[in-house]
Amino acid sequence: MSETAAVPVAVCQFAPTASRADNRERIAELTADAAARGAKLVVFPEYASYFVDPMDESLSTNAEELDGEFVATLTALAAEYAVVIVAGLAERGEGHRVRNTVVAVRGDGILAVYRKQHLYDAFGQTESDWIEPGAVGEAATFELGGLRFGLMTCYDLRFPEVARTLVDADADVLVVPAEWVRGPLKEHHWTTLLAARAIENTVYVVAADHPTPIGVGHSQIVDPEGVVLAGVGTAPGIAVAVVERSSLARVRKTNPSLRVRRYAVAPR
């Protein structure tokens, strides 16, 4: 891959609702705005297709197949604006449970699919009541502009093995759609873990969250040294920055932690 590779990326922080049509319309508006700012990768949060709080049986009713209306809309937008779009959706699963899925799409179709491995059964929440976990398997990655991007979701951020598995699949950038639920110290956890995953893996981290009052906000683009290049506060908005192979090379020359590590990751 080219040593001069550079990709402008955008994180779009918005609050998906129980109206699938409204969500698609908002995604179209934000994609147009991000593309106008020069973005070639546009990242949306977890559950961008449909979201209710608290979760209930309507998730199953409103879940879609990967060839459904939501992904078709993303693909059409990606073609119209010559971008790649990453977004979370409620995908139809088995029985009453759905899959918490992230797709990366280009104008000619789906590039990668990731299904959330670690479900949010923590801090008083039980996501597993409504969501079936994704299988542990091959890392979900795609290439754009000479860089490789890897997909993970929200609570996965608390498990460094997920990020390391993506890095072992040659990911240069970790893409993290999320609905990071608010609570005591949760903003601190979110920003700390984003920086930690970037620093320990010497990669970029591109994370899109829901705004307050349900999410913590603070969608951001973090460089391989843990520095926030661009970010959004707690309200809806867009942040844009460029991810560059030259920065990866510089940081990894100074801090060759990936090369000198003595442990690999094995699934349980």
Q: How far apart are CA 195 and CA 26, in angstroms?
A: 29
**Catalytic residue (choose from 12, 91, 132, 154):** 154
* CA dist 133 → 114, 121, 123, 139 (Å): 11, 11, 18, 15
Distance, in Å, from the CA atom of 106 to the CA atom of 80, rounded to the nearest integer, reads: 10
Is the CB of residue 75 less than 8 Å from the CB of residue 103? no
Per annotation, catalytic residue among 116, 132, 179, 187: 116
Q: 116 catalytic, yes or no? A: yes
Residue 124's contacts (CB-CB under 8 Å, 6 or more residues apart) are none
Q: Where are the beta strands (DSSP E) in the chain?
A: 6-13, 41-43, 84-91, 98-106, 109-115, 131-132, 141-144, 147-151, 173-177, 204-208, 220-222, 228-231, 237-244
- The first and second tokens of residue 94, run together, are 């088995």
The verdict on whether 94 is a catalytic residue reads no
Cβ neighbours of residue 213 closer than 8 Å, sequence gap 6 or more = 182
Task: Tell me if 181 sits within 8 A of 54, measured CB to CB.
Answer: no
Q: What are phi and psi of 62, to 5 degrees?
A: -100, 5
Separation between Cα atoms, residue 240 and residue 219, nearest integer Å: 11
Q: Give the H or E element holding residue 161.
A: helix 160-168
Quickly tell me which residue has 């104008």 as its tokens. Answer: 107
Omega before 54 within 30 of 0, i.e. cis: yes
Closest CA to 48 of 215, 235, 234, 223: 215
Annotation says 154 is catalytic: yes
Q: Which residues are catalytic?
A: 46, 116, 154
